[in-house]
Structures are given as structure tokens and as C-alpha cells.
A and B are shown apart, each in its own frame.
Chain A
Amino acid sequence: MGDDFIVETKNLTKEFKGFVAVSDVNLRVRRHTIHALIGPNGAGKTTCFNLITKFLQPSRGQILLNGRDITKTEPAAIARLGMVRSFQISAVFGHLTALENVRVALQRKQGNSMHFWQSDRSLDSLNERAEQLLADVGMLEYRDTAAGELSYGRKRALEIATTLALEPEMLLLDEPMAGMGSEDVARTAQLIRRVSASRTVLMVEHNLSVVADLSDTITVLKLGKVLAEGPYGEISQNPEVIEAYMGHGVGSHA
């Protein structure tokens, strides 16, 4: 099996004109686990995400994916290496239908995405798989609805279906529950648990009951630094973490 850790960062640092957003972060994400990144606003969670997926170039430090150095890799290549991210603001292709959204993710592997002379009917062979992915997130009935017209929670569900279409080894979910109603939260949590069976998930999430419920490991960031790391039971007892959250949330769930 080789490496136990799918993603590792070594002294990961990002500076923006004198402001250090992420400072010497050593993150190790164990394969086939759900790893959560939490912390107060401005702790550098999303910056960490952007660094790991190469949407930002780190100032210092190293990032390893499956033991391979990806510090200099292009963001589009990251996806092809099996690591796919979601975005804080739901990222769907608004003018495409739900089915087409998923198909865009599927078609890349088909290898004809540059074929401008070919009819898009050549993509119909992917419909069955796309429908299956939509059904998995309970979205099949919206197959032909333009993604832009879907409700917020459904956009997020569609985004997850699109991400799963790439069959990534590693998923990075940036606040997957943000803006969702409690019903959607429960459904999405269930979905994340289900997909994590054969994959690794790293997520940023503010909903601590979700984090407590889902995560195997939690890393707490504060002002760009790692404050604590461990399972929820341990983290929630950490006085520094409690202080960072000023007594809110952490510790009130068991």
C-alpha cells in the first residue's frame, strides 16, 4: 500500500504583501478518512485549500500528493492526479442543465473534448452514468433543469455529483453545508459519509455538529497556524481551542 498519507504539506506558508495567511502548516491527511479543517474566520482555511489545489502558489513549503511533489503543478493537472475540489460559493455551470454539468466532468476522460467538429450527440453515451450520479445525490428529477435555476442546496448537491463524476481519490470540500437548511445538511452529511468509504475527504466546515459527526481527524487553524489536531473528543477539550472559539460551539456537542 505504501504511504499511509494521501496528502502531506511541509511548512506550507503563504504570504500576501507582508500578511501571513498560512504559516508553517504541516498537514497530513490519512487515506480513507474524513479530515476537517476548522477555525475562526480568517484562520487561513480556504487559503490552505487554494494552496493544496494549486489555485494559489505557496510562498514556501512543499505539498505532496501520494508521495509525489505537486508544489509546482498546474491546477488543471491536479484534477487529473485524482484530487478534486469544490468551492465555497456553489460552483455549477449555470446555463448548462444538471445532466450536462455532470457530463462535462465525465467527458474529459472520453478524450474528445477538443473535437469541435463532432456532434455533441457523441456525449450521449455518458448520459446513463451521469443519470446514475444525479440519482445518487437525489437530483435525477432535475436532469433537464438549467443549473442556474436550482435552489442553493440542490446546486451543492449537483456540485458533489459533478465532483464524484471524476472518481477522485481525494475530495476537498470547501464548506459543503454553507447556506443549507437542516434537511439538506443531514442529506449532504450522509452523502459525504457514503462517498468517503472509498475515498479521502478534506473539508472546511463551520457547522461543528457536522464536523463532530463526520470527521476522523480535525485540524484547528488560527491565524494561519495549526492550533491543535486530533479526533473531536480530544480537540473539544483543548483549552486553547475553546478559547479560540470563545466558548461557542466547541464542547457543547458530545
Chain B
Amino acid sequence: MKKILALLLAMAMVFALAACGGNSAPAATQAPAAEAPAEAPADSGDAPAEAPAAGEASGTFKIGGIGPMTGDAAQYGIAAMGGAQIAVDEINALGGPVQFEFQAEDDQAVADNAVNAYNTLKDWEMQIMVGAVTTGSCVAVASEAYNDRIFSLTPSASSTDVTAGKDNMFQMCFTDPNQGKAGAEYISTNFPEAKVAVIYRNDDAYSVGIRDAFYAEMSDSIVYEGTFTADTQTDFSVQVKAAQDAGADVVYLPIYYQPATVILTQAKSIGYAPTFVGVDGMDGILDQEGFDASLAEGVLVMSPFSASSTDDLTVSFVSKFQEAHGQLPNQFAADGYDCVYAIYNAIQAAGVTADMSNEEICDALIAVFTSDDFSYSGLTGEGMTWSTAGEVTKLPMAFVITDGVYVKP
């Protein structure tokens, strides 16, 4: 028994340590305004619910977030949910008639866990969903949300499978095909004669989706394609070497920033210096602690967001995110933030109240999102609009990393 006691004490110690050293938790810290009654103010309470566009939006809406908070992909989920939380706090601090309660649930980037997380949020009476962060989870959750008529806006699940056949599902990020096309267009405009190598992760829906679209456009210029999986993402020296031997002078990396970091390092170590072209998942590469920015010198990132932008919105968001998480936000965080604000704007445009049913809110918001005169400008783009298929229209911004900051070419 003594040993068990000792074990417990040791665990307790580790917790204490963890609590001291850990970054403050972004997950599900409820907004301070959450105590406000969910019922709409009395004067608008009697407004007929069947005419949503007529009334004024009010009440405390419950927004649920789903993303990986533990496991391999936790860095993306925590960022996206952290960004959403900042937007919720800002909106609540405005003290307007529309208030939000936000709760994020962990799905470990696994589809069935995401469905459990979704149902947990439904028990919490979620009215609008921000999620899921990863594509695989989002496909599974989207079909649930479609059946339950819960309006959903995902910050980062970029596959077309997410929105296919579901009118309630919208994306804040580029779709994979658009991203692949944009990359191909950029490369063929700026490096018309280039030989291109692609290194992508072939057990990841996001990476494969972009690569397929890219390949369809560029198949003639591609001299080498190398892949890796979650199990082989330790070492890329063979792929990098093969790209070099194939004479590629542009290397397209439709992958996240963490494996990209290793690829850049290994290319440098064998003296291979092509132009690396990344996708939005590459954003965040500069924010890694201890990253040597010279490695990424000249790398092209197709990202909708740059933490080094100097506009007021970005500056204020970056400082708030840094305060909460001790690091610069990446595009996942920015997309999460934009999701909440886009929903906020749409709620006001639709004039929905929090006491309406999910179906009513969902239909009203769909009508707003797909209407011609609704557009949203935020951290990740100006004048974004949404198609009836749920796809966002915004321009991909290309940045070249110069001296450790994003510079527009």
C-alpha cells in the first residue's frame, strides 16, 4: 500500500510540475460572460421565430469546437481552438446582444473519437460547430452534423469530402484542389522551365488531396515524387537526395511544417538548395522554438495568414495569442479566430436569436453564408464569400521567407 501511496504522491508532483510549466490550456475555458442567461432579452423574446431575418440577433449562443488536443496532431487542434477562444473572448467583451459560450473537445484526430466529442457537445446543447480541425475527423462529424442540422464551419479540414452533399458544412480554409491548383499556377508562372519534385505524406488526406490536384496540372514538369507516412517521417534523406539527383530545381511540399523542417535541414546538409514551395500547412515553421530561420530562407509559403503582418487586426490578435500561449499564432489559430467572427457576423446578418432551434439557426445561417451580399474580411483574407457547396473564395497569398519574416514577393 505504501508503494501505491508513493506512486500517487509522485503523480501529484508531476501534475504540480505540469501545472507550472504548461502553457495555459486553451481548451474549453468558458467565457466569463457565460453566466448570462441563455434566454434572449425579454423585449425580443416574443418575436416570431419563423421570420429570423427580420429580428435583431441576440442571446448567448453555444459554439462547440472539435480538434485534436492530445496525440500527434495536438499542435494543430490546440492552435485552432486557441484562436477561436480569443475571438469568443473578444466578442463577449464587446458586451453586445450576441454573446458566445465556447467549449472545445478533444478528438485525437481520430474519426470515431470526433463523433464522441460531437455528441458530448450536443449534450452541452451546442448550437453551432467550429470543427473538426482534421479532415478525417471532419468527414465523420460532418455527416452527423448534417443529420442534426447543426451549422458547421471548419477552420482547417480542407478536403472536398468534408462538404460534399452537406449544405450545412462550410470551410474557412482553401480546399485541397484549389490549393494544389494555386501552387501549380504559381510555379508555372514564376518558374516556367522548372523541373519539379514533390514530397508528400501519402497517408494523410490533406497532403494527398493537394498533391492530386497539383499533379493533374503539373504532371509534365514533375521529375520526382517521393512520399512518406506517419511511420517513416523520421528521415527524408533518401527523398531529398533523389530529388537532387533528378535535377529538380523546385521542390513542392504539400505537407505540414514539422516534417518540412526536417526536409529543409537535410537538404541543406547535402548542399541541395532548390526553391522550396510550401502550402498553408507550412505556416508556423518560423514559430517553432529554436528554429534557425536561415534554413527557410527563400522558401515560398502559400498561406492565407502571416503573423508578421502589420495591420491592426493581426497585431492585436498576435499579441493576444502570444499572451495566452506564449508563442506566435499560425494559420490554424487565425482560421479558428476567423471562424468565430464569420459566424458572429452571419448571426447578426441573419438576426437569429439563441432561443431558436438548431434547425432554424442552421437554415438562417446557411442562407446568409450563401447569399451574394455576405462577405467576411478577417485575418486570413479580405472579402471572403462562400459557395453553396461550402467552399470559401479567397486569394491564396504567397509569401517568401526572407530574413525570418514573410515578405510578399
Q: Do A and B bind each other?
A: no
Binding site for A on B (CB under 8 A): none
